[in-house]
Structure 1
Amino acid sequence: MARTLIVLMAAATALAGCATQQRIDVPLPSMPPMIASAPPPGMAYLYGSAEADALSEQAYNGMLGYVRALLDRTRDARGRLPHQRAAGTLPRWPASASAVLASGSTAAVPQPTSCGALPPAVVLDMDETTVLNLGYEYNDAQTGQAYDAKRWDAWERGGADKVVAVPGAVAAFRQLRAAGVAVVINTNRNAANAADTARALAGAGLGTFEHGTTLWLRGDADGKSGKDGRRQAIAERYCVLAQMGDQLGDFADFFNPPGPAPASGRRLLPSTSRLVARWGAGWFVLPNPVYGTGLGSGWDDTFPADRRWSQTPEGVK
């Protein structure tokens, strides 16, 4: 009997131990990240398609043709531009020559700055306008991580050798400089990383840039992320004949009003009567289906209700 009791007590103790035992997760060996069968469609288009390359070449060709024509129209009989002539000599730059709008301009009243006899320049955004951030976007595609300011800062400091020039940019920069036109970058990369940014541009074959002269970064001029303050500072040094970018904020801050503006209302701005003629004539846009302000529209903004089509068993709607 005593032996039987001991056996029963041992069994009960074992069962109780099983009931109260906590789960222990053994970590699995680290595995390489899963590689998708194909990059996200927007990335495949921008970074991997011949069509995106052709659009970029087209934009740079259009910008060069516009700038050359403006230079030719402004030269005097001796081939000199306004900044190369004696002070007070006419004619100066045409009143509409500047691609930078004066402070206080709106979409309804887009007044260009006055160029006077300043030397000519072209102002461009950097990311996805002059360089393609292949290394960073590859990491985005593989990890699926949301944008993180610290990760982007690490990219700015350490990714200089993982970018390539946008198709058309290297040849365009060379031809602009040969024509005496300064190339100026206006980017929202961090001012603290100016040396790294200049190194990325140089490594992509785009030449040398000097912070505060031909390279302007977030926080320069007015401490803001909007680019109007920097544009005004650049326009005090140069007659900006053209601007290029992949976001509308690369041309004027009024395209990005504060607060939750409806996408449909924002879409009306580029086609206002006073702005529509600037596209391809001083303002040049490059494609970017990967990120930015152009990707926020919803169903109603993208597909107007009176233009929708569907096929059902009952027929076509």
Structure 2
Amino acid sequence: MSLRLPVTLLAFALLAGCASAPSRQPAAAAPPVAVAAQPAPATVAAANDNLNAVVWTQTAIEHDLIYLQTYRDAESRLLTALKNRHWDALAKDDRTPSGKGLKPAVVLDVDETVLDNSPYQARLVRSGGEYNEADWAAWCKEEAARALPGAVEFTQFAAKHGIAVIYISNRAKDLDQATLANLRKAGLPVSGPEAFLGLGTFVEGCEQIGTEKGCRRQQIARKYRVLMQFGDQIGDFVTVLANNPEGRRRAMAPYLGWIGVRWFVLPNATYGSWEPALFNNDWSATPELRRQQKIDALRY
């Protein structure tokens, strides 16, 4: 407990202290003290809306646990799917008339599904830049992307049980070899070039629509019975006819029962078709306008 003196006693105490204090001569000026030069402050990148998404991807244990959980759950279901001859994880439009007698396979997207490209996104945040094909290609050619948690174990398990592991990617065709090399370096099974279908893969009898993967899924369906699919965007599973919030919901509505059973969706808050869906897919709009339209999409 603190003690408080009455005001009058406190005043007398202060006066007594002043009376008894010896008089002081003005002190001589102290010699200047050398001060070490301080380093210039580090350059701080301009504010970037992707900062939280990228730093969460790279540092949050929750991110890694979601991937582990997803791949482990898929692995626990895979052999049951293999034994069921009627099991098929392709959307209706991607199936062949008959899938009987086909070899089993799992189909996986590459970026942010099995390979972690967050270092590229981190570079954009630090530099204040935006995605461009030249810088992206340079990153891919480094072949430095690491495998995401659980991806190696799941794909190795599938391969061990005679299930083909097939990758579909929207990386440009000239990045095929670098991507295959990166997959192998990361420990992911690659049976050969035929196990990788990049953007620009020609599929006879099918008209390619932009970067949609439907034609490539149809090509896989001619040779394989697909047991499971994995991706970080809904276009990795089904063709999206209208890339807006309502169109995306409609595309997935018939297959909600497959999520976590035949289709396994992984988190990617750093980029994806969900973003342009909010500003009418118009990348020619200024960053400020795009940002405002994303703000307008918020519910509160």
Distance 1:140 1:262, change over 3 A: same
- The alignment status of 1:218 with 2:199, answered yes or no, reads yes
Q: Report what 2:232 is aligned to.
A: 246
Structure 1 residue 62, shift from structure 2 partner: 2.1
| TM-score under structure 1 length normalisation | 0.68
Deviations 1:43-92 (A, max 9, x none): 122222110111111111222222221123x3xxxxxxxxxxxxxxxxxx
Q: Return the alpha-carbon distance in structure 2 between the equivalents of residues 55 and 114 of structure 1.
A: 35
Where do 5+ consecutive residues of structure 2 fail to align?
Answer: 1-40, 279-293
Contact 1:249 1:256 in 2 (8 A): no
Q: Which moved more, 1:114-123 or 1:63-72?
A: 63-72
- The alignment status of 1:202 with 2:184, answered yes or no, reads yes
Q: Return the alpha-carbon distance in structure 2 between the equivalents of residues 277 and 32 of structure 1.
A: 51
In the TM superposition, what are the counterparts of 1:139-218 in structure 2 within 5 Å?
A: 139-157=123-141, 159-161=142-144, 163-211=145-193, 213-218=194-199
Counterpart residue identity of residue 282, structure 1: R
Deviations 1:284-309 (A, max 9, x none): 10000100122354456441xxxx4x
Counterpart residue identity of residue 91, structure 2: L
Structure 1 residue 184, shift from structure 2 partner: 0.6
Q: Secondary structure at the match of 1:243?
A: strand
Distance 1:238 1:214, change over 3 A: same
Q: Secondary structure at the match of 1:201?
A: helix
Contact 1:246 1:285 in 2 (8 A): yes
Q: Report what 1:62 is aligned to.
A: 73
Distance 1:118 1:51, change over 3 A: same
| TM-score under structure 2 length normalisation | 0.72
Counterpart residue identity of residue 160, structure 1: E
Q: Return the alpha-carbon distance in structure 1 between the equivalents of residues 146 and 97 of structure 2.
A: 33
- How many corresponding residue pairs? 238
Q: Return the alpha-carbon distance in structure 2 between the equivalents of residues 278 and 59 of structure 1.
A: 14
Structure 1 residue 263, shift from structure 2 partner: 1.9
Q: Return the alpha-carbon distance in structure 1 between the equivalents of residues 82 and 250 of structure 2.
A: 32
- How big is the alpha-carbon RMSD for the aligned residues of Structure 1 and Structure 2? 2.6
2:220 to 209, 215, 234: 234
Q: Percent identity?
A: 29
Q: Return the alpha-carbon distance in structure 1 between the equivalents of residues 97 and 270 of structure 2.
A: 32
Structure 1 residue 269, shift from structure 2 partner: 3.8
Deviations 1:132-190 (A, max 9, x none): 01331221121121111222122222x202x1111001111111111111111000012
Q: Report what 2:28 is aligned to.
A: none
- The alignment status of 1:101 with 2:85, answered yes or no, reads no
Q: Report what 1:263 is aligned to.
A: 245
Structure 1 residue 118, shift from structure 2 partner: 0.7
Distance 1:267 1:34, change over 3 A: same
Q: Report what 1:131 is aligned to.
A: 115
Q: Report what 2:105 is aligned to.
A: 121
Q: Return the alpha-carbon distance in structure 1 between the equivalents of residues 75 and 132 of structure 2.
A: 36
Q: Larger C-alpha radius of gyration, 1 or 2?
A: 2
Contact 1:47 1:132 in 2 (8 A): no
Where do 5+ consecutive residues of structure 1 fail to align?
Answer: 1-30, 75-92, 106-110, 309-317
Q: Report what 1:28 is aligned to.
A: none
- The alignment status of 1:292 with 2:278, answered yes or no, reads no
Deviations 1:179-208 (A, max 9, x none): 111111000012222111111111111133
- The alignment status of 1:283 with 2:263, answered yes or no, reads yes
Q: Return the alpha-carbon distance in structure 1 between the equivalents of residues 214 and 244 of structure 2.
A: 22
Q: Return the alpha-carbon distance in structure 2 between the equivalents of residues 123 and 250 of structure 1.
A: 9
